[in-house]
């Protein structure tokens, strides 16, 4: 038995299998606790619907976090992308719903990348400051055409189109990570930035590209998020920060299991696990505020398990 487990751990699918086992265990626990309100096939599909959305954002954040950086503006980018889509619907129709969010996400991500490499200050500070600016823009944009998506444009909020868009986003992320220099160099920078620089990698360039990709995937996420929620009100005073953490949890699952070679799959399963936990607590009658406890505890646990500690290192 021990030899079997040892051999299994060397498989590239061990991490995915472990996450699937954890998913089944969590489902079983909440199914026993709330058999009438949790875990039915239709409810499992609803959990997946939520996971699909956040996993797209998690894929974008992966390019940032794998290098040890963070983007705390994705909530503000998400809101602004959605409101820009709504604003241009009268003139552009479906083009506004599909193209505008991706374009806005791309441009905002590019701005994040340029600001980070030019200012030479920590990414958390840069993106937090920019999130305040994006929040202000969203208030102005909301006055153009309101904050509600017309019923005729809710196609991407339900199966099968939400699944199609999400799978295309996952395939794009997988392709970039596996078959392009961007994937190779972002991993190299994350492993050892100084060595990557000495090998001739233009570190600043690829960090800027990573921020741009993050924004682009957030733009894709906003297509699904808007279709699912059908409306988006602007947020100010850093309230958009609350939207950062659920995609970030999926990213941390991807980082924790990246050594097995399937970060995108790990991100999706991780988001599904989190969605089940949220739904499970609601099913057993816990207040929805417990989701914040779950979010915080999960983030702390995953970061603790995946952080490499070095004696004498300064914690930043």
The pLDDT tens digits of the residues spanning 142-165 come to 998 888 888 888 889 889 999 999
Please say whether the beta carbons of 268 and 174 come within 8 A.
no
Complete DSSP assignment for 72-108: TTHHHHHHHHHHHHHHHHHHHTHHHHHHHHHHHHHHH
Residue 314 binned pLDDT confidence (cut-offs 50, 70, 90): very low
pLDDT at 302: 64
pLDDT at 282: 85
Residue 2 binned pLDDT confidence (cut-offs 50, 70, 90): low
Whether 261 shows a pLDDT value over 80: the answer reads: no
Task: Give the separation between CA 207 and CA 271, rounded to whole angstroms.
Answer: 25
Task: Give the separation between CA 64 and CA 59, rounded to whole angstroms.
Answer: 9
pLDDT at 139: 92
pLDDT at 100: 95
What mean pLDDT comes out for the span 282-295?
A: 76
Whether 310 shows a pLDDT value over 70: the answer reads: no
pLDDT at 242: 85
Nearest Cα to Cα of residue 108 among 204, 205, 215 = 215
Residue 307 binned pLDDT confidence (cut-offs 50, 70, 90): low
Q: Bridge-partner residues for 148, per DSSP?
A: 231
Domain residue ranges in the chain:
55-238, 244-303
Whether 106 shows a pLDDT value over 80: the answer reads: yes
Residue 8 binned pLDDT confidence (cut-offs 50, 70, 90): low
**Percentage of the residues of the chain whose pLDDT score is greater than 90:** 53
Which is more confident, 8 or 138?
138
Which is more confident, 53 or 259?
53
Residue 241 binned pLDDT confidence (cut-offs 50, 70, 90): confident
Three-state secondary structure readout of 22-71: HHHHHHHHHHHHCCCCCCCHHHHHHHHHHHHHHHHHHHHHHHHHCCCCCC
Nearest Cα to Cα of residue 213 among 242, 175, 250 = 175
What mean pLDDT comes out for the span 269-294?
A: 84
Residue 239 binned pLDDT confidence (cut-offs 50, 70, 90): confident
Whole-structure pTM value:
0.90
Residue 303 binned pLDDT confidence (cut-offs 50, 70, 90): low
Whether 62 shows a pLDDT value over 80: the answer reads: yes
Mean pLDDT of the chain: 87
Angle between helices 203-229 and 181-191 (to 10 degrees): 110
């Amino acid at each position: 038995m021990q030899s079997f487990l040892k051999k299994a751990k060397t498989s590239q699918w061990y991490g995915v299998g472990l996450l699937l086992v954890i998913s089944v265990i969590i489902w079983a626990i909440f199914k026993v606790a709330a058999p009438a309100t949790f875990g039915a096939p239709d409810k499992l599909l609803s959990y997946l619907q939520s996971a699909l959305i956040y996993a797209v954002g998690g894929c974008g954040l992966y390019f940032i976090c794998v290098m040890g950086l963070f983007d705390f503006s994705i909530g503000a980018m998400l809101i602004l992308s959605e409101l820009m889509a709504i604003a241009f619907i009268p003139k552009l129709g479906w083009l506004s719903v599909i193209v505008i969010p991706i374009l806005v996400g791309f441009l905002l991500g590019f701005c994040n990348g340029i600001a980070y490499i030019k200012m030479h200050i920590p990414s958390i500070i840069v993106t937090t400051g920019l999130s305040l600016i994006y929040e202000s823009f969203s208030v102005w944009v909301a006055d153009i055409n309101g904050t509600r998506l017309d019923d005729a444009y809710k196609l991407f909020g339900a199966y099968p189109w939400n699944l199609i868009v999400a799978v295309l986003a996952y395939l794009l992320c997988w392709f970039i990570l596996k078959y392009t220099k961007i994937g190779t160099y972002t991993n190299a920078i994350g492993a050892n930035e100084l060595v990557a620089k000495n090998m001739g990698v233009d570190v600043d360039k690829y960090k800027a590209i990573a921020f741009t990709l993050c924004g682009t995937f957030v733009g894709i996420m906003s297509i699904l998020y808007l279709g699912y929620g059908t409306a988006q009100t602007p947020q100010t005073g850093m309230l958009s920060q609350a939207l950062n953490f659920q995609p970030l949890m999926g990213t941390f699952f991807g980082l924790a299991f990246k050594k097995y070679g399937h970060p995108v799959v790990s991100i999706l399963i991780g988001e599904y696990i989190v969605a089940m936990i949220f739904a499970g607590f609601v099913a057993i009658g816990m207040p929805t505020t417990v989701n914040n406890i779950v979010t915080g505890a999960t983030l702390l646990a995953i970061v603790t398990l995946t952080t490499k500690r070095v004696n004498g290192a300064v914690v930043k």
